[in-house]
């Protein structure tokens, strides 16, 4: 044995300071899978999602008109643009250091349900959620359990949202970016 006999070695996990994180390439693949068509392809024609919102590309909703069409390159540009809003929002909302996979899971969650950075306390997205309160209290195990509570679209449980939340939960807990159909 070396010179550190009897000394417990501490293994630390890499974290990044709050407010300074960026999305990983794995997150973009995850979003393409969940926000796009089967096979991770973009929806090139506008459609109504499970919440009856006009959507195009990879979950883009702002200003979408019925019958609108875009190219794959435009869909990718919109994904990058839209995701940055949620990267910035999660950076504003989270006050504790996170691991990359935790950050990515929160960005995916917010991308899907919204940031909810308003003045009320009604949980309409990440901002007023118990998920965020638990993350900011560094109670990550309890926070992970919150993902699967967000599975409703138009007042009904959505099987697609159940599957997505399980995948986000696995990403948050274990760094598992598996896409899970």
Q: Largest alpha-carbon pair distance within the chain?
A: 71
49 part of the active site: yes
Using the CB atoms, write b or e for 83-111: b if 16+ within 10 Å.
Answer: beebbebbbebbeebbbbbbbbbbbbbbb
Catalytic residue from among 8, 26, 29, 35: 35
Closest by CA position to 132, among listed 80, 92, 178: 92
Catalytic residue from among 37, 49, 76, 85: 49
35 part of the active site: yes
Is 79 within 8 Å of 31 (Cβ atoms)? yes
According to DSSP, the residues that pair with 37 across neighbouring strands are: 41
Using the CB atoms, write b or e for 112-148: b if 16+ within 10 Å.
Answer: bbebbeeeeeebebbbbbebbebbeeeeeeebbebbe
Tell me the catalytic residues: 35, 49
């Amino acid at each position: 044995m070396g010179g550190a006999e009897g000394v417990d070695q501490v293994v630390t996990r890499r974290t990044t300071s709050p407010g300074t994180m960026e999305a990983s390439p794995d997150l973009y693949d995850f979003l393409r899978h969940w926000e796009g068509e089967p096979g991770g392809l973009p929806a090139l024609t506008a459609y109504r999602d499970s919440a009856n919102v006009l959507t195009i590309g990879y979950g883009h909703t702002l200003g979408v008109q019925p019958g609108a069409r875009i190219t794959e390159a435009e869909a990718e540009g919109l994904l990058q643009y839209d995701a940055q809003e949620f990267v910035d929002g999660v950076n504003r909302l989270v006050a504790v250091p996170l691991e990359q996979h935790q950050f990515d899971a929160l960005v995916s969650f917010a991308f899907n349900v919204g940031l909810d950075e308003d003045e009320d306390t009604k949980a309409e997205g990440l901002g007023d959620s118990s998920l965020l309160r638990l993350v900011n209290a560094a109670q990550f195990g309890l926070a992970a359990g919150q993902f699967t509570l967000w599975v409703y679209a138009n007042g009904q449980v959505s099987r697609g949202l159940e599957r997505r939340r399980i995948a986000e939960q696995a990403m948050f807990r274990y760094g598992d970016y598996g896409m899970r159909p």
